[in-house]
Structure 1
Amino acid sequence: MFKTARFRLITLFCGLLLTGACNAAGPNTSAAAPFTDGDQYVTLPAPYQRDSSSGKVEVTEVFSYACVHCAEFSTYADDLRASLPPGVEFKLVPAPFNNAWVPFARAYYAAKKLGVVEQTHDALFKAKFADNYPINSMDEIADFYVSHGVKRDEFLSIVNSPEVNSQIQHDLTLLQTWGVDGTPTIVVDGKYRSANVKSFDQLVALTKWLVQRELDAKGK
């Protein structure tokens, strides 16, 4: 049985201040749908305020660098991202579910601002879970990014910035709206959230099916 790391979303006001803490085919109207709403996925009731005006279908992976299941899913996510058709964009949202995960969410946004996500994303999973480096505290996380050419002072300045504080709070609100309580979770276009999937392969197939459904609905 495929499992995700699950947490109850909580308000992390203190965590925000204490930064040192923590092949599915396209839908066929003549055949039964391969996935069931309310089982493998759920349709989200709340409207989604898009952060992008690109008009593309958004595939969002909710993840954490502290989540071993996300590390296991990372190669699947890479292949999924590479296979998405034109008109689709892949996004990441780091889950700040608890004080231990907040530093990793902050680190993602610092890495994004510094332009090093592409070179560090999979590398951080490997260092933490395959190579068993101690990467938990913000100092240890900073050590990892320094080893990839980032300046420590610049990195720490960004992770502690009001901009990142605001982004973390925004993400908490968004994940509550989506009903996300585990990682990795996939949300397609802010309309559909993965739910009871049994394997990473099924999660990828579900994502592709929902993407094609959205593309068809948009006439793309």
Structure 2
Amino acid sequence: MFKTARFRLLALLCGLAVTSACSASPSDAAAPASFTDGVEYVSLPAPYHRASDSGKIEVVEVFSYACIHCAEFSPYVDELRKSLPKGVEFKLVPAPFNDSWVPFARAYYAAKKLGIVDQTHDALFDAKFKQQYPINSMEEIANFYAIHGANKGQFLTIANSPEVDAQIKKDLQLIQTWGVDGTPTIVVDGKYRSYNIKDFPQLVALTKWLVQQELNAKGH
């Protein structure tokens, strides 16, 4: 059975803590045509909490650049994003589960502010996990982005800004509200969270199925 990188969330300086176990076991089983609440996904209680107020149906991947399973899932995410119906938006929320993951959350928001997420997202996963470059500290992360065209000083200023501090705290509260304790996790419209998933193709199929449930409910 596929397992995400899982964590127990407790309150630390930034409201962060960790106990982790990272393991994955791919399955060859085909994804079913439908899914069961409490098995492959869980329904979240109202009131529903979303990552944005755009009004569009929202698909969120809770992820981290520090998570190897997120790196493995990334090619599937690329295809998922392209396949989502018009009017459905895809968003990334970086999980600040512990002190070692916080720099990667900072990096995501700095890259987003600089408009370079699209060209660096998969590249960072590739550099860290396939090429095994030492990318862990804020300094090492900034060096990576500098190679990809960012001004290092500007990148670090944004990454360590009060604005990013506030966003990380907001993200953690949202992740806790959703009950997310591992990555990658998919949350659809703040109503449904992926749960007991066998493999990445099943996670993609589940996401599409949940999106269709929301489209049907809204009369689309």
How high is the TM-score relative to the length of structure 1?
0.90
Give CA-to-partner distance per residue, 1:71-117, whole Å, 9 cap, x none: 00000000000000111000000000000100000100000000000
> Which residue does 2:64 correspond to in 1?
64
CA RMSD of aligned residues (A): 1.7
Q: Could you tell me how far apart the structure 2 residues matched to 1:12 and 1:94 are?
A: 17
Shift, 1:55, TM fit: 1.9
Q: CA deviation at 1:12?
A: 3.5
Classify the secondary structure of the residue corresponding to 2:219.
Answer: coil
User: Does residue 76 of the first structure (1) align with residue 102 of the second (2)?
Assistant: no
Note if 1:198 corresponds to 2:205.
Answer: no
Q: Which amino acid aligns with 2:86?
A: P
Structure 2 CA distance for aligned equivalents of residues 141 and 78 of structure 1:
22
| AA at the equivalent of 1:149 | G
Superposition misfits of 4+ residues, deviation over 6 angstroms: none
Aligned residues: 207
SS at match of 2:214: helix
Q: How does 1:7-86 map to 2 (within 5 A)?
A: 7-13=7-13, 34-86=34-86
TM-superposition CA deviations, 1:115-138 (whole Å, max 9, x none): 000000000000000011000001
Q: What SS is found at the alignment partner of 1:193?
A: strand
Structure 1 Cα separation of the partners of residues 14 and 73 of structure 2 = 30
* Amino acid in the other structure paired with 2:165: N
Spell out, residue by residue over 1:16-59, the C-alpha distance to the aligned partner (whole angstroms, 9 max, x if none). 9xxxxxx989xxxxxxx721101100000142344534321000
Q: Which has the higher contact order (CA 8 A, sep 6+)?
A: 1
Where 1:186 maps in the other structure, the secondary structure is strand
Asked whether the 8 Å contact 1:12–1:99 carries over to 2, the reply is: no
Residues 12 and 154 (structure 1), Cα distance of their counterparts in 2 relative to 1, 3 Å cut: farther
Report the counterpart of residue 118 of structure 1 in structure 2: 118
Give distance in 1, aligned partners of 2:190 and 2:51. Answer: 11
CA distance in 2, matches of 1:57, 1:15: 29
SS at match of 2:91: strand
DSSP 3-state at the match of 2:80: helix
The one-letter code matched in structure 2 to 1:69 is H
Q: How far apart are 1:10 and its partner, in Å?
A: 2.3
Question: Does structure 1 conserve the Cα–Cα contact (< 8 Å) formed by 2:49 and 2:174?
Answer: no
Confirm whether residue 131 of structure 1 aligns to residue 131 of structure 2. Answer: yes
Query: Which segments of 5 or more consecutive residues in structure 1 lack a partner in the other structure?
Result: 17-22, 26-32
CA distance in 1, matches of 2:198, 2:50: 29
CA deviations over 1:155-201 (Å, ceiling 9, x no partner): 11011111000000001100100000000000000000000010100
SS of 1:34's partner is coil
What is the alpha-carbon distance in structure 1 between the residues aligned to residue 72 and residue 176 of structure 2? 24
1-side partners of 2:120 and 2:12: how far apart?
26
Determine helix, strand or coil for the equivalent of 1:37: coil
Asked whether the equivalents of residues 94 and 108 of structure 1 are also in contact (C-alpha less than 8 Å), the reply is yes
- Aligned 8 A contact 1:2 1:199 in 2: yes
Percent pairwise identity:
75
Decide whether the 8 Å contact of 1:61 with 1:185 is kept in 2. yes
Which amino acid in structure 2 is aligned with residue 42 of structure 1?
Answer: V
**Paired residue type of 1:11:** A
1:107 aligns with 2:129: no
